[in-house]
Each structure stands twice: as structure tokens, then as C-alpha cells.
Amino acid sequence: MSASNYVGALMLSAVVVFPVLLSGSPTSFIDLPAAGAVFMGIAGAILFSATPGQTQTGKLHAIGQGAWLSGIVVALSGLIMVLTNLAEPQTIGPYLAVSLLSMFYGAAVRLFCSIFSLRQI
């Protein structure tokens, strides 16, 4: 890899890591249910799209799509939970956090998969 590849990788990593560091509390970006849901989407996409002779680019595309789409589905589910429980204000924060974190995880995985699949071309 050339120096520009390393710089690009660092810049992409900064896009994901910078908000976590700015928050002042990196632990607020950790949520096992959200990560588990995105991981299940990745696993499902890999298993569903697996074909003999599938290229590395195809695998990366499946991983990225599975992560992003499962993040969106979990985010929508979390928003539904928030809207159905508006009478309980103490549940709004946790449900919104799971919603947004699942989308954040999915987008981060999708970002890296897209970039690495471009390197394969």
C-alpha cells in the first residue's frame, strides 16, 4: 500500500472515531443489542448471498448492505418503541440511543466495506 492509501485509511477511521472522542464518553457509543442486531444482519447477508465463486468484492458488498439495512431496520424499530412509550419518559433516551447506535454501526461497517471493495477493483 502506498502512503496515500494509509492516509485515506486514517481519514476514514477518523470519520468514525472522531464523534466518539468528541462525545467525552466513549462508553455511550457501546450498545450490545444494537451491535448484535447489526451483526445478525451481516451474518444473514453473508449466508443468504453466498454463491460458489463469489468474489471478495461481492462478499464485501453483502456485508456492507447487510450491516446498513439491519441498522436501518433496528433504528425504525427503536423509533416505534419510543413513539409507543411516550407516556414513560425514562424509556425515551435508551430506545433512541439503541436506534441511533444501530444505524451508526451499520453506516460505519458499510463505509469500510465500500472503501475496501473499491480497493479490490
Instruction: Specify the 3-state DSSP secondary structure of 85.
Output: coil
Candidate ranges 1-5, 11-15, 42-46, 97-101; pick with highest mean pLDDT: 42-46
End-to-end CA distance of the chain: 15
User: Which residues, 6+ apart, have CB-to-CB distance to 49 below 8 Å?
Assistant: 58, 62
How many C-beta neighbours within 10 Å does residue 97 have? 15
Domain extent listing, the chain? 1-25, 31-120
Is this structure's pTM higher than 0.95? Answer: no
User: Which pLDDT tens digit goes with each residue over 36-89?
Assistant: 989 999 999 888 888 888 888 888 889 999 999 999 999 998 899 888 888 988
